Copies of this chain bind each other. A is one copy, B any other.
Amino acid sequence: MKKFTLFTPGPAEVPPRVLKALSEPIIHHRSQDFRSIFFDVREKLKRLFKTKQDVIVFASSGTGSMEAAVVNFFSKGDKVIVVNGGKFGERWTEICTTYGLEVEEIKVEWGYGVDPEDVRKALKRNGKVKGVFIQGCETSTGVEHPVKEVAKVVREERGDDTLFVVDGITAVGVFDIDMDGWGVDILLTGSQKALMLPPGLSMISASERALRFMEKSDLPKYYFDLKREMKAQKEGETAFTPAISLIKGLRESLTMILDEEGLENVFERHKRLAGILRSMVEGMGLKIYAKRPAPGLTTIEIEDAENLRKRMRELGAWVAGGQGKLKGKIIRIAHMGYYTEGDMIYVGNVLKYVYDEFISKQKKN
């Protein structure tokens, strides 16, 4: 018998009622039925992103919207700063470099958040920086970067001359990112984390300031051409065929988040879940890997991580391992989206059970 609960930072568990929405008969996307669903989704996404700007939906995984954040707003040779504190910071550098931007990386030791003053120094050193790229949460290390503080630094140092771009793939809907309030210029996320959907959708929004940059961008784009999509999506349509079933599921999950539980309550729940799990982990004498842990996942330093993880999976709790140089050294337990306190008690005690086995084996040897 196979029975798993996913505690992985994407995909995360999908509520049965969302799964049900995915299995409804397909409707046509050029129809009043779809338009009214899509208008509702678009209004809800604005509340989720805390913005008055349009939020655009792509049929792609989150990386698609990361690419859109580069190709629509910048030009070949533009100088940009990337905060790189893990695998997804690296991805910003890869995408920017692919499209001919000149990247200066602020290398952040894995497990740490960036120091906003390091961003200030880099901006002072380089008078012509057009963009600063960061993760809200660096999913590979479980770290929350200080987005609000970095936004403030970018604005203080550069006014309207530099865009602040936030990959919110494990942040939007997980903890507070106040796009308009903090002056985030580009914010994006994906469907398979806090939004409690299967992968296959990404969403992106751009500030007025970013829209002015868009007019000057010379990078080639077609599928991820945001201007074309904005024009279409204002009319309740999409430039290319949308992922209809996932958008129907998105309306269901956004209803749960925004209208039933309430966004601030969701944020509080994520913090509470993180607290419960982390106190169990620390009670076992284990160390949290992230120095500035994000509310959406808990990264744990542990010996023999890959075997422990496999053993947890045998017992039904599917957690993630480390990526890149962290493979075998940490496990990652996600708790963003469809998770309860009881889920934390479950996954924490499965970890304890497996870790106790490991310790007693070690003692025997």
Residues of chain A touching chain B, judged by Cβ–Cβ distance below 8 Å, are 2, 4, 6, 8, 10-14, 19-20, 22-29, 31, 33, 59-64, 67, 94-95, 98-100, 190, 192, 198-200, 219-224, 240-246, 318
CB-based contact B200/A59 at 8 Å: yes
A198 is contacted by which of B99, B190, B219, B244 (Cβ under 8 Å)?
A: B244
CB-based contact A200/B245 at 8 Å: yes
Given A59-B199, A61-B242, A243-B199, check contact A23 B19 (CB 8 Å). yes
Query: In whole angstroms, what is the CA distance A310 to B67 when docked?
Result: 39
Query: In whole angstroms, what is the CA distance A61 to B245 when docked?
Result: 13
Q: In the assembled complex, which residues on chain B have CB atoms less than 8 Å from the CB atom of A10?
A: 241
Given A59-B61, A98-B220, A222-B98, check contact A192 B241 (CB 8 Å). yes
User: Which 3 A-B pairs rank lowest in CB-CB distance, beginning with the nearest?
Assistant: A23-B23, A200-B243, A198-B245
Copies in the complex: 2
Minimum CB–CB distance from A73 to chain B (whole Å) comes to 15
A22 is contacted by which of B4, B23, B63 (Cβ under 8 Å)?
A: B23
Minimum CB–CB distance from A125 to chain B (whole Å) comes to 27
By CB atoms of chain B within 10 A, which of A11, A100, A199 has the most?
A199
CB-based contact A20/B19 at 8 Å: no
CB-based contact A240/B198 at 8 Å: no
Given A19-B23, A19-B24, check contact A11 B244 (CB 8 Å). yes
Query: In whole angstroms, what is the CA distance A29 to B192 when docked?
Result: 12
Given A241-B61, A241-B190, check contact A29 B11 (CB 8 Å). yes
Query: In whole angstroms, what is the CA distance A246 to B98 when docked?
Result: 29
5 A-B pairs with CB atoms under 8 Å apart are A28-B318, A60-B64, A63-B240, A200-B245, A243-B243
CB-based contact B98/A221 at 8 Å: yes
Query: In whole angstroms, what is the CA distance A118 to B74 when docked?
Result: 41
Query: In whole angstroms, what is the CA distance A114 to B62 when docked?
Result: 39
Q: What is the chain B residue whose CB lies nearest that of A6?
A: B28
Minimum CB–CB distance from A301 to chain B (whole Å) comes to 21
Q: What is the chain B residue whose CB lies nearest that of A7?
A: B28
CB-based contact A14/B28 at 8 Å: no
Query: In whole angstroms, what is the CA distance A200 to B27 when docked?
Result: 14
CB-based contact B11/A64 at 8 Å: no
By CB atoms of chain B within 10 A, which of A13, A99, A220 has the most?
A220
Query: In whole angstroms, what is the CA distance A59 to B11 when docked?
Result: 14
Query: In whole angstroms, what is the CA distance A99 to B219 when docked?
Result: 9
Q: In the assembled complex, which residues on chain B have CB atoms less than 8 Å from the CB atom of A24?
A: 19
Q: In the assembled complex, which residues on chain B have CB atoms less than 8 Å from the CB atom of A59?
A: 59-61, 64, 199-200
Q: In the assembled complex, which residues on chain B have CB atoms less than 8 Å from the CB atom of A199?
A: 29, 59, 241-244
CB-based contact B28/A8 at 8 Å: yes
Query: In whole angstroms, what is the CA distance A22 to B246 when docked?
Result: 10
Query: In whole angstroms, what is the CA distance A294 to B27 when docked?
Result: 24
Minimum CB–CB distance from A98 to chain B (whole Å) comes to 5
Q: In the assembled complex, which residues on chain B have CB atoms less than 8 Å from the CB atom of A245?
A: 22, 198, 200
Query: In whole angstroms, what is the CA distance A61 to B241 when docked?
Result: 6
CB-based contact B22/A22 at 8 Å: yes
CB-based contact A26/B198 at 8 Å: yes
CB-based contact B61/A94 at 8 Å: no
Q: In the assembled complex, which residues on chain B have CB atoms less than 8 Å from the CB atom of A25?
A: 13-14, 19
Query: In whole angstroms, what is the CA distance A67 to B11 when docked?
Result: 26
Q: In the assembled complex, which residues on chain B have CB atoms less than 8 Å from the CB atom of A60?
A: 59-60, 64, 223
Q: In the assembled complex, which residues on chain B have CB atoms less than 8 Å from the CB atom of A29?
A: 11, 199
Q: What is the chain B residue whose CB lies nearest that of A225?
A: B98
